[in-house]
Amino acid sequence: MTDPISLTLAEARDLLRSRAMSSKELTEAHLSAMAAARGLNAYVLETPDKALAMAAASDQKLAKGEGGPLEGLPLGIKDMFATEGVRTTACSAILENFVPVYESTVSSHLWRDGAVMLGKLNNDEFAMGSSNETSRFGPVVSPWRRKGDTAKLVPGGSSGGSAAAVAAGLCLGATGTDTGGSIRQPAAFTGTVGIKPTYGRCSRWGIVAFASSLDQAGPFARTVRDSAILLRAMAGHDPKDTTSVDLPVPDYEAAVGRSVKGMKIGIPKEYRVDGMSDEIEALWHQGAEWLKAAGAEIVEVSLPHTKYALPAYYIVAPAEASSNLARYDGVRYGVRVPGHDVTEMYEKTRAAGFGREVRRRIMIGTYVLSAGYYDAYYRRAQQVRTLIKRDFEACFEAGVSAILTPATPSAAFGIGEKVSGDPVEMYLNDIFTVTVNMAGLPGIAVPGGLDAKGLPLGLQLVGRPFDEETLFSLGETIEQAAGRFAPERWWA
Amino acid sequence: MVERFGAPPSPAPLPPRAEPTDLSRDAPLGKTMTAPVKTDKLIEGATGAFEVIVGMEVHAQVTSQAKLFSGASAAFGAAPNAHVSLVDAAMPGMLPVINEECVRQAIRTGLGLKAAINLRSVFDRKNYFYPDLPQGYQISQYKSPIVGEGEVLVDMPDGETVKVGIERLHLEQDAGKSVHDQHPSMSFVDLNRSGVALMEIVSKPDIRSAEEAKAFVAKLRTIMRYLGTCDGNMEEGSLRADVNVSVRRPGEPLGTRCEIKNVNSLRFIGQAIEVEARRQIGLIEDGETIEQETRLFDPGKGETRSMRNKEEAHDYRYFPDPDLLPLEFDQAYVDALAADLPELPDARKARFMGNYGLSAYDAGVLTGEKESADFFEDVVRAADGRTRDPKIAANWVLNELFGRLNKEGRGIAASPVSAGQLGAVLDLIADGTISGKIAKDLFEIVWTEGGDPKAIVEARGMKQVTDTGAIAAAVDEVIAKNPDKAAQAKEKPAMVGWFVGQVMKASGGKANPQAVNALLKSKLGIE
C-alpha cells in the first residue's frame, strides 16, 4: 500500500471516501512524519490530540457516508491564522503567550468542510521576510538540498513552514498568506504549488494583519488539483471582512484538466531583469513552449511600470504594517515589559517583542506616513499602484488570458546567506510577485523543473481578477508537462 | 474578556489624553473671516476694545444600539469592560465593519444642519499610542467627511438671530477611558466607550461671544434631540466641545487661536471662552505673542492652561484605513432619509408663531426642547379633537408648569401634571367653571395629589359662583357697608376695582369676576 504521506490530497480524499483508509491512519502517519521531521522546524506547535479527535469525528461521519469535501484530511495552518484555543503567535515574541478565543474565517471554512488540524506552521515574524529566518522560533530548514551538498537551505518565506511541510509530506496541504509573494516564492523554492487568489477572494478576518490592502490567504499543496480543492474551501464572502467580495465560489477542481487551447498568454518583456540566471530564463521559455504545445498562443506584452513595483511595495506594505502593529503595546494581551511610565513600558515591550526586520519595517512605515513625507512617499506609491493595475488591465483588455513569468529570480539560497547583508538583497526575491499583490490579481506558482544543482524552480501565472479557474487550467498544463518534484527524505 | 486591564506601574499618573494641535492637518478654523464686526460683542481691554472669534468642534455621540465598527452595545453605565467586542479590544486579525445605523444618523444630522451630504466619504486612521486606544489608531474621517458645509440659526435672548456656518461633520470612533484613581501605581482601562460612534461637528469661526457659543451648542443639541441622533446628555459625555478662541482688535487680521479641549458643559464653555479671551488680551496688551496650542479649562481655578509643549506634539500619520472601503451611497438613499425627517426646531417655532400667534420668544422657549413643544401641542389639541386657546395654553405651560418644574429641578418628561390634566384645567377656566385664581389652586392640587381636575372641582366645591342672585346679595352688602366709597365711585369709575376685590374676597374667590363687575357697575350707576 502507498505511503500515506506521499498521497496527494485528492488521492487521500478518494481513499477515505471508499473507506480504503481511515482518517485516523492518515492522521497518525502525518503525526509520526512530523515527529521525525522536527529538525526542519516546519511546525511551531503540533496539536496531535486535536488532530486525532478531529480524525475520529471524521471517521464516524465517513462511516455513515457523510462528511464535507475535506473530511478527514490532515492540514497544517500557518501561524498567522488565529485558531481558537490554540496558541497563535505570528511567530513573534510579542505574541508568544497569545491564545485566541476565536477562529479565523479561512481556517473555520476548512474545519467546516471536515479537515483535520495537525498544528501551526512556522513563518517569518508577522509574515515579514522572504526566507523564514525572521521567525522567533528560528528558521525553517528546506527539505531540499543541493546535489551532493548538506548545506541547509531556506524554504523561502514568509510561509516557509507551510511550504516545507507540504514538500516534506508533513501535511496534505497547508494555508499560507501572501502580501508580496509569501505563498508563491516559498512554493517555487520547495517544488510545491501555491496560489494567491484575487484580493477579496478569501476573508482576512482572524488573520494577523501585516498589510491590509495586500494580504490575502491561499493554499499550498503538492498538485494543482489539490490547491484547487483547498481554495474552494478557503474562499468565500465574509460579512466580517468588508474587503471580501460577495461572488459565488466556483468549483475550482472542475477547471483542472480543462483545455487551454486558444488562450492568449502574455510574456512581459519587463520581467527580463538584470542578473537573472540563464536557468530561470530557459525555464521561462520552456514554460511558454509547454503552453504553446497545449494550444495556447504566446504573445509578448508590456507592463511598463514593473520597475516601480518593488520600491512602491516597500512603502505601502511597511506603512500599513506600522499602523497594524500598533496594537501590540503590552496593554491588553501578549508580552509586557514593565517601565517607569507608560511610554517606557511601550518602548521596552515593543523593543523586546519585535525582531529586527519587523522593527525596521515599522520605522520605514512610520517615516513614510509622517507629516511632510506622506505626499512624497505614500501618496506617490499609491499612484504607482494605480499605474501597475492599469498595465495589467491593458493586457487583459487586449485579450490576454494570463501572464507567464518566473516565480523567483533564483533558486533557494542557504540559511544565513542573506541575513547579514543589505536587506534590499532579500527584498529583491519578491520582484516578480509583488506586482501581483499591488494589482490585487490572482497568481499561482507551479513547479517547472530543477536547476543544475537539483533545486526546484517555479513559474508564475497571473490571471484576471477572480479568474483563478484559468490559472488552475494553465497550471495543470505546466504540471503535466514538467512533472512533479519531491525531495529525498534525508531528515527522517 | 477580563474585567480590567491594568496598565503598568507608573509613579506619575498618565499624561492627559494627548490630542494636541494637529501639525499635519489643515486647520479650517480661524483662517477665514466671514461675519462683520459686531460692536456690541466687543470686550474692553486696558488699551481698547477686542473682538473674540470662536469656532467649535462638537463631539456628539450617535444614538445607536451598537458601536461604529462592532456589534458591541453602545449603552452608557455598564460595569467596566462589559461592552467590549474582539474588535473593540483590537485582538489580532479583527476587522471593522461599518454600522449602517450610524451612517444613517450622521446623514440625518447633516440634513438637520442644512448641510451638503457627500455620497462618497473615506475613513482614515489617526495613529497615536494611548492605553485606552486599543488599535493604536482612531478610525476617523480626515480629508473626505460624510457631511460638508451647512448652517445653524442661533436665537439670542435679545432677539438677534446669529447664523453659524458648519464646516463639516464626520464620523469617528470614541476612545476608552483611563481611570487613574483606583490603584496607587496602576491605571485601569475601561473599553466600554472604545469604538462608540461620535459625530464631530466643526463650525466655522462665526461665533463672537461666550453667549453665542453656548447658544450654538444648545441649538445643535436641540436639533439632534429632535432628530433622535444624539441624546445630548453632557453629564454622560454624549456631547463635548473643543473650543477654538482667538482675539483681535476690530478690523485687524485674525489672531492666533488656542484650542480648549473637551469642555463638557454649557456653563464651562462660556467660562472657558471668557477667561481664555481675557488671557489672550492680557498677553497682547503686554506686548507678548500668543502661541498656537492646546489648552485645558480648569473650572475650579477659573483658568485655562497649556496641555503640552511642542516637543511632545503629535504627528498622527493619517492615511486611508485599508480595512474599510470608501463609504458610498446614492442620492435616493439621502432623499428617503430627508423625506422622513421630523419637523425641526426652526420650522416648529415658525409654525407656533404663524399658526398659534405666539411671540418669537415664547415659541422659541417652547420649541427649545422637543418634549416641551410636544407637551404644549398636546395641551392645545385636546384628545377629543377640540382646540384650546394657544396663547392661554402657552402662558400656562411657560409660567405655571415650567415655573413649578424649574423650582423642583425637574424636566418636562418628569412632570406630575400631564398635558391632558392641564388641558382639563384650561377647559374649566374657559367654560367659566372656575376663575383663573382658583385654577392656580387647582393646578397645585393636581401637581401634588394627581386626579381628574373636573372631579376635584366638583368634590371640593371650587366651582365659580355665577348665580347672579347670590352675587347681587354680596354686592349689595359691600355697597351698603361702604357708602362713602360708593359715592366716590360714581365720580371715579376706577374705584370699581376695589369693590370687585371686596366681593371676590367675600365669595372666597368663587364669584365670577365678570358677573361681579357688571352688577357693581349697574348698582353703582357707572357707565
What's the complex ipTM?
0.96
Domain range A7-260+464-482, CATH class: alpha beta
What's the whole-number mean pLDDT along residues A355-362?
A: 97
- Nearest CA-CA partner of A80 in A39, A144, A132: A132
Q: Crossing angle for the helix pair B266-285 and B210-227, nearest 10 degrees? A: 150
Q: Please give the helix or strand (H or E) that residue B163 lies within, else none.
A: strand B161-173
Q: Which residues lie across from A266 on neighbouring strands?
A: A299, A403
Cell numbers 507592463 label which residue?
A303
Told to judge if A453 belongs to the known catalytic residues of this protein, a careful annotator would answer no
Structure confidence at residue B19 (pLDDT) = 44
What's the whole-number mean pLDDT along residues B441-449?
A: 93
Query: Contact, A89 vs A98, CB < 8 A?
Result: yes
Query: Contact, B35 vs B206, CB < 8 A?
Result: yes
Say which of A23, A78, A135, A410 is annotated catalytic: A78
In this predicted model, what pLDDT tens digit does every residue of A380-425 receive, in sequence order? Answer: 999 999 999 999 999 999 999 999 999 999 999 999 998 877 888 7
What residues in A contact B95, CB-CB < 8 Å?
204-205, 240-242
pLDDT bracket for residue B463 (50, 70, 90): confident
Q: What is the DSSP letter of B312?
A: G
pLDDT bracket for residue B22 (50, 70, 90): very low
Told to judge if A78 belongs to the known catalytic residues of this protein, a careful annotator would answer yes
Q: Which of A108, A331, A375 to mutate to test binding with chain B, by most B CBs within 10 Å of its CB? A: A331
Non-local CB neighbours of B377 within 8 Å, separated by 6+ positions: none
Residue B178: cis peptide before it, omega within 30 degrees of 0: no
In this predicted model, what pLDDT tens digit does every residue of A261-300 receive, in sequence order? Answer: 999 999 999 998 877 889 999 999 999 999 999 999 999 9
pLDDT bracket for residue A438 (50, 70, 90): very high
Structure confidence at residue B3 (pLDDT) = 36
- Three cell numbers, residue B157: 435672548
d(CA A205, CA A224): 26
- The size of the A-B interface in CB pairs under 8 A is 121
How many other β-carbons are positioned within 10 Å of the β-carbon of residue B71? 14
In this predicted model, what pLDDT tens digit does every residue of B484-522 receive, in sequence order? Answer: 888 888 788 888 888 888 888 887 777 777 778 888 888
- Nearest CA-CA partner of B138 in B146, B150, B149, B126: B126
Q: Which residues lie across from A418 on neighbouring strands?
A: none
Question: Is residue B15 scored above 90 in pLDDT?
Answer: no
- Nearest CA-CA partner of B276 in B237, B242, B247: B247
What's the whole-number mean pLDDT along residues A373-383?
A: 95
Told to judge if A182 belongs to the known catalytic residues of this protein, a careful annotator would answer yes
- In this complex, which of B5, B94, B127 lies closest to A331 when CB atoms are compared? B5
CB burial class (10 A; 0-12, 13-18, 19+) of residue A234? buried
Structure confidence at residue B71 (pLDDT) = 93
In this predicted model, what pLDDT tens digit does every residue of B92-107 receive, in sequence order? Answer: 999 999 999 999 999 9
In this predicted model, what pLDDT tens digit does every residue of B395-433 receive, in sequence order? Answer: 999 999 999 999 999 989 999 999 999 999 999 999 888
Query: Contact, B176 vs B119, CB < 8 A?
Result: no
pLDDT bracket for residue B27 (50, 70, 90): very low
d(CA A133, CA B411): 67
CB contact under 8 A, A211 and B322: yes
Q: Which residue of chain A has the CA closest to B15?
A: A342
Q: Look at residue B317 and give its three-state secondary structure.
A: coil
Q: Which of B26, B70, B91, B103 to mutate to test binding with chain A, by most A CBs within 10 Å of its CB? A: B91
Say which of A182, A227, A244, A401 is annotated catalytic: A182
pLDDT bracket for residue B466 (50, 70, 90): low
What's the whole-number mean pLDDT along residues B465-482?
A: 80
CB contact under 8 A, A331 and B97: no
- Three cell numbers, residue B459: 368634590
Question: Is residue A431 scored above 50 in pLDDT?
Answer: yes
pLDDT bracket for residue A22 (50, 70, 90): very high
Question: Is residue B260 scored above 90 in pLDDT?
Answer: yes
Q: Which of A240, A245, A329, A383 to mutate to test binding with chain B, by most B CBs within 10 Å of its CB? A: A329
Question: Is residue B130 scored above 90 in pLDDT?
Answer: yes
| Triad B232, B215, B121: Cα angle to 5° | 55
Structure confidence at residue B12 (pLDDT) = 39
Query: Contact, A327 vs B135, CB < 8 A?
Result: yes
What's the whole-number mean pLDDT along residues A128-139?
A: 97
Structure confidence at residue B208 (pLDDT) = 96
Distances (CA, A) of A63 to A36, A74, B488: 30, 17, 119
pLDDT bracket for residue B308 (50, 70, 90): low
How many other β-carbons are positioned within 10 Å of the β-carbon of residue A179? 29
Share of chain B above pLDDT 90, in %: 68
Q: Look at residue B396 and give its three-state secondary structure.
A: helix
pLDDT, greater one: B339 or A492: B339
What's the whole-number mean pLDDT along residues B32-57?
A: 81
Question: Is residue A358 scored above 60 in pLDDT?
Answer: yes
Structure confidence at residue B239 (pLDDT) = 95
Domain chopping of chain A, boundaries: 7-260+464-482
- Nearest CA-CA partner of B128 in A366, A229, A223, A236: A366
| φ, ψ (nearest 5 deg) of residue B522 | -70, -40
CB contact under 8 A, B90 and A346: no
Share of chain A above pLDDT 70, in %: 100
What residues in B contact A329, CB-CB < 8 Å?
129, 131, 136
Question: Is residue B6 scored above 80 in pLDDT?
Answer: no
d(CA B152, CA A4): 75
Query: Contact, B73 vs B193, CB < 8 A?
Result: no
Structure confidence at residue B309 (pLDDT) = 56
Question: Is residue A309 scored above 90 in pLDDT?
Answer: yes
What residues in A contact B319, CB-CB < 8 Å?
319, 323, 369, 374, 378
Structure confidence at residue B525 (pLDDT) = 78
Q: Which residue of chain A has the CA closest to B313?
A: A371
Q: Crossing angle for the helix pair A278-293 and A468-482, nearest 10 degrees? A: 110
Share of chain A above pLDDT 90, in %: 95
Mean pLDDT of chain B: 88
Q: Per residue, what are the HEC states of chain A? A: CCCHHHCCHHHHHHHHHCCCCCHHHHHHHHHHHHHHCHHHCCEEEECHHHHHHHHHHHHHHHHCCCCCCCCCCEEEEECCECECCECCCCCCHHHCCCCCCCCCHHHHHHHHCCCEEEEEECCCHHHCCCCCCCCCCCCCCCCCCCCCCCCCECCCCCCHHHHHHHHCCCCCEEEEEECCCCCHHHHHHHCCEEEECCCCCCCCCCECCCCCCCCEEEEEECCHHHHHHHHHHHCCCCCCCCCCCCCCCCCHHHHCCCCCCCCEEEEEHHHCCCCCCHHHHHHHHHHHHHHHHCCCEEEEECCCCHHHHHHHHHHHHHHHHHHHHHHCCCCCCCCCCCCCCHHHHHHHHHHHHCCHHHHHHHHHHHHHCCCCCCHHHHHHHHHHHHHHHHHHHHHHHCCCCEEEEECCCCCCCECCCCCCCCHHHHHHHHCCCHHHHHHCCCEEEEEEEECCCCCEEEEEEEECCCCHHHHHHHHHHHHHHHCCCCCCCCCC
Q: Please give the helix or strand (H or E) that residue B281 lies within, else none.
A: helix B266-285
Question: Is residue B474 scored above 60 in pLDDT?
Answer: yes
A239: phi > 0 → left, psi -120 to 50 → alpha, else beta; which?
Answer: alpha
- Three cell numbers, residue B13: 499618573
| Least-confidence region, from A367-381, A411-425, A440-454 | A411-425
What's the whole-number mean pLDDT along residues B328-356?
A: 97
pLDDT bracket for residue A2 (50, 70, 90): confident
Query: Contact, A137 vs A128, CB < 8 A?
Result: no
Q: Which residue of chain A has the CA closest to B312?
A: A343
| Least-confidence region, from A454-468, B40-54, B118-132, B469-483 | B469-483
Handedness of CA A139, A145, A146, A149 (dihedral sign): positive
- In this complex, which of B95, B136, B325 lies closest to A327 when CB atoms are compared? B136
Structure confidence at residue A173 (pLDDT) = 98
Question: Is residue A259 scored above 90 in pLDDT?
Answer: yes
pTM reported for the whole predicted model: 0.89
Adjacency order of strands within the sheet including B5-6: B5-6, B188-190, B177-179
Structure confidence at residue B36 (pLDDT) = 63
HSE-CB at A173 with a 13 A cutoff on CA atoms is 32
- In this complex, which of A325, A342, A374 lies closest to B10 when CB atoms are compared? A342
Q: Crossing angle for the helix pair B419-430 and B370-380, nearest 10 degrees? A: 40
